[in-house]
Structure 1
Amino acid sequence: MEGFKLKSVKIIVLSFFAIVLTACSQNVPASDVHTVNQAAPLVIRLAGGDYGLPSPFTHSTRGPGLYNMYLLFDGLLEKDEKGLIPWLATDWKIEKGGKSYLFMIRDNVHWHDGTLLTAEDVKFSYDYYLKHPPVRNMLVEGKETFVEKVEVVGKNQMRITVKQPNASYLEKIGYSMKIIPKHIWEGVENPVSLTDPKALVGSGPYTLDDYNGGQGTYRFKAFDAYWGPKPRVNVIEQVPVSEPVLAFEKGELDIAEITPDVLSRFQNNPEYRVIQNPPFHGVRLNFNMEKRPELKDKAVRQAFVYAIDQADLVEKVLRGAGIPGSAGYLPQEHPYYNNKIKSYPFDPAKAKQLLNGKELTFKLNIPNTEQTVRTAELIKISLKKAGIVLNVQTYDTKTNDEMARSGNYELTLSVTGGWGGDPDLLRMTFATNPNSQGSSETIGYKNDAINQLAAKQMVEPDENKRHEIINQLQEQIAEEVPALTLFNQKSYFVFRPNKFDGWIYMYDHHYAQHSKLTYLTRK
């Protein structure tokens, strides 16, 4: 959407200030209206690119696309450094052993156009998402929704009933699905087609002041009448840069990702502060066992693990800024990580023994990035020594993602985040039977023990008991190797604390720039 100017949004917001705020005694209590300090506006500049129009139906699935949308739209819950916290909902209750969720909706919240947000808007949002799935639809398991009923049960209360309990549903319902205004979206049959400023009216702490898709630029401006914590940052700008570190040094960016080889330029300089993100982003090698049935042999999959020097990948691809992947999938810093799972030391001789003299050739699809190209080069060399030959095929990221989703590959490298999330991600990645409702990314693979444990942890309400089940599940995954995590990355970021020092990580995410709370005043 090139050259998209949001004049109408500005008019809407200005009208709101002129009409609503002048009569705040009737509509918004003065104590609830947070105005941003206009004496010294704080502008934060981030690396940009075109990540789509940030409505729930048009944002990109890559980069900051989702989190740009989160700046405009609030959910019932939010994430801080430790877990889920109240947001549009002041409180919640889990009822009937996880079969229903009762949310108490906050009073005196206004949309960007001045309209009051109500429980009816909340109910409408979920009903609308069930009919018109957003880009990131977290209300489904496999191909079907897990929501049974959505109802308003009091003046400011809403209950969502689900088809069966699941320990991960609170986050999916409360945080991932953002609330949209009924008065705008009601009657819109094709939400992707709504691309005028009305599509961006939310209740979040920022409005979109300007967006140019062709140039890859965004300008978010603090919403002065935001119900919640006062925005500490007045303006967030995203601008495309070819060399982020150079742009940071020139003052064109306020935070930049840096590699270990340039750390010394910043570490001992009091002007800068360096932080390291948690290892919740990484690269996985996926096996398609339908296209290549020999991959159903566990010995062949284990041979891949023994043949690849993961520590070498961390040093040569990540320059030491990462950790070898866990055979049980959850990284070492995940709170549910099991340190007793089977380990696979680099052992090419063991790999050859497991292959029993066989020589195998596979086509490996990869996205065309510097990291994945280098990774493919190194594992190709390692695997050849064990008797496995790779023919590497390179595609642009979008094409590679689509080929992976459609199963059009033999082997593929998947670059993903989210490794810090609820351990139910093990079910979503590896389970394959109807009882566990997994949306398997391991095509052609099935294991009854994994399926049973995945289904069991899903409905276990006791945290300690669930932890033990998750430990067993990791042990099974480590033994079976239905997919291979090559490494998890721990990037470095540098910023100038004298300008802004509010960068925080959500408890399960690897970019401080993506946290809404980064830009808001904290107690």
Structure 2
Amino acid sequence: MRINCSKKGSDASKSTVAKGDKIQGKKEADVIKLAGGDWGAPNPYKHYQRGPGSFKMRLVFDGLIEKDEKGIIPWLAESWKVEKEGKEYVFKIRKGVKWQDGKELTPEDVKFSFEYFEKNPPVSYSLAGGKGKGTSIIKSIEVVDGDSVKIAVNKPNVTLLQKLGDVRIIPKHIWENVKDPKNFNEKESLIGCGPYICEEYNKEAGSYKFKAFKDYWRGKAAVGEIQFVPVSDPVLAFEKGDIDQFSPSADVVKRYENKKEYKIFKAPAFWGYKLSLNMEKCPELKEKEVRQAMAYSIDKKELIEKVARGAAVPASAGYLPQDHIWYNKNVKNYDFNTNKAKELLKDKKLSFELLIGNSKPEIRIAELMKISMEKSGIELKVKSVDGKTRDAAVKKGDYQLCLIGYGGWGGDADQLRGMFASGKTTTFSGIPGYSNKEVNELCEKQAVQFDEKERKDTVFKLQELISEEVPVIPIYNTTGYTVYKPEKYDGWMCTFDHHCLEHCKLSYLKRDK
């Protein structure tokens, strides 16, 4: 069974830049080496929240469904049915799946995993419904017909199939007696049923070694071993063969063009920066004219030229990026216009503290925004901290303005509901102090529209309204590059809604013909 989310989604994930004469690429490799960095231990409770941590955990732990270039595909569930107008989901569980300790996966493991996560939410949990009676997404779960799991939900939602399929399945025989999963550090905490076994993890070095699981249900993996190694200079490491792919800047990528030994992949614009506004800390931000003035005061073209070196596109004020399958090109635009900003501010002088991480791009973006906003009468006092501290502050709502970058912008349009109508703040979503009745209504409406055309119309209207309201200010979405040598390995791919080759589990597995 396949759900084809969009033809455009398939095109967007195939962005290889054709340079030079083609050479025959290898579809299998004994070892692939990638740049390391500490992203936590790869289990559902110990990895760090951002993409690189989640991806490594998914090498070890499988879910019911997976995604390829076109849409959703079966995984631990070989098929499924959606019944009772989206209130029940029946997943037929694949037979012959083994845990990495040799025991067999059963439907009881699936049932247990959902129930355990309801009581003990892991780091990445798409079914988090909040606290208190009646807030859980899942109403009940039971094993039926011996080989299937039926999940009843409290409220239908068009995204629930993906969210249910995204839940990682953990072995009941290991976790059923674990009372404090966040402090469960035994080696058994890294036993999953995914394609790779985590053989080594060194937090201090930021290094990992994943070995292909020989009894994986899909058969032999295309890559026998994945190593994440410390790297100080990615360009030098790549050219010496210490790593097998990397993401160069737009300036550096030119040295690999028109050379047959390299392939260059241009990513879809699904990673981006935004300016988060805390309206609880700064009530003046509740004025739409102030937010619009701030949007007019950011010179996006300058930022793309001087920071991204051209490898980016202006972000949409409607939030969904240009490469999204439901991007609305008719949203309100905020081209750099100091006079327009001053007109909206009516000579008001404003001052805010801008929280940023300590990466070079964020520091440079902040420097340029400080200069351009000052021309409109908006003072920015920049406070730079390390990325983890910044992320924690955002989650707590402990900021006035915050510059933050992350991936996932290509995901389902229901992300607009999480961003603009959730009523709660996470690291990447939510707007403290903001609420708009019409935005909320459209967010809730699209979430239960199972007719694709009707839902798309609603999402387009929602983007137009968001662009007028501009409760967050999207800045730009990156279209970075990945370079690799096809003669070493040429199985790289990304899913229809994500930008990164190395984050895709299917990049390391043999594909169905």
CA distance in 2, matches of 1:443, 1:244: 38
* Deviation beyond 2 Å, 4+ runs, structure 1: 141-145
Match for residue 373 of structure 2 among 374, 383, 388: 383
Q: Aligned partners of 1:382, 1:428: CA distance in 2, in Å?
A: 30
Equivalent residue for 2:478? 489
Q: Is the 8 A contact 1:53 1:195 kept in 2?
A: no
- Contact 1:59-1:135 at 8 Å conserved across structures: yes
Please point out which of 152, 168, 172 is paired with 2:143: 152
Other-structure match for 1:22 = none
Does residue 426 (structure 1) correspond to residue 416 (structure 2)? The answer is yes
Alignment-derived partner of residue 205 in structure 2:
215
Could you tell me which of 139, 163, 181 is aligned with 1:191?
181
- 1:351 is aligned to 341
Shift of the alpha carbon at 1:306?
1.0
Which amino acid is 2:138 matched to? V
Partner in structure 1 of residue 396 of structure 2: 406
- 1:480 equivalent to 2:472? Answer no
CA contact (8 A) 1:367 1:397 kept: yes
Q: 1 CA distance for matches of 2:271 and 2:476? A: 9
Tell me, in whole angstroms, the C-alpha distance in 2 between the residues paired with 1:446 and 1:142.
18
Q: Does 1:204 align with 2:208?
A: no
Shift of 1:217: 1.1
In structure 1, C-alpha distance between the alignment counterparts of 2:93 and 2:66, rounded to whole Å = 14
Tell me whether 1:108 sits opposite 2:96 in the alignment. Answer: yes
Instruction: Choose the corresponding residue for 1:467, options 453, 456, 481.
Output: 456
Distance 2:465 2:197 in 1: 47
**2:238 is equivalent to residue 248 of structure 1:** yes
Letter in 2 for 1:68: K
Answer yes or no: is the 8 Å Cα contact 2:121–2:128 preserved in 1.
no
Report SS of the residue matched to 1:248: helix
Q: 1:33-182 counterparts in 2 under 5 A?
A: 42-143=30-131, 144-175=135-166, 177-182=167-172
1:322 match:
312
Q: By how many angstroms is 1:184 displaced? A: 0.7
CA contact (8 A) 1:431 1:440 kept: no
Q: How many angstroms apart in 2 are the aligned matches of 1:297 and 1:45?
A: 50
Alpha-carbon contact 1:48-1:218 (below 8 Å) kept: yes
1:362 is matched with: 352
Distance 1:310 1:155, change over 3 A: same
> 1:475/1:229 Cα in 2 relative to 1: closer, same or farther (>3 Å)?
farther
| CA displacement at 1:146 relative to structure 2 | 1.0
Report the equivalent of 1:307.
Answer: 297
Higher relative contact order (CA 8 A, sep 6+): 2
Name the structure 2 match of 1:36: none
Q: Which residue of 2 aligns with 1:3?
A: none
8 Å CA contact 1:77, 1:88 repeated in 2: yes
Name the aligned partner's letter for residue 145 of structure 1.
S
Whether 1:277 aligns to 2:254 is no
Q: Tell me which of 471, 474, 494 is aligned to 1:505.
A: 494
Aligned-residue offset at 1:432: 4.7
For residue 233 of structure 1, report the CA deviation from its aligned partner.
0.3
TM-score of the pair, normalised by structure 2: 0.92
1:52-79 superposed Cα distances (whole Å, 9 cap, x missing partner) = 1111111111351111110111100011
Structure 2: segments with no counterpart, 5+ residues? 1-27
CA distances 1:230-285 after superposition (whole Å, capped 9, x unpaired): 30000000001011111101100000010111122101111111111111111110
What SS does the corresponding residue of 2:482 show, helix, strand or coil? strand
Which blocks of at least 5 consecutive residues in structure 1 are unaligned?
A: 1-39
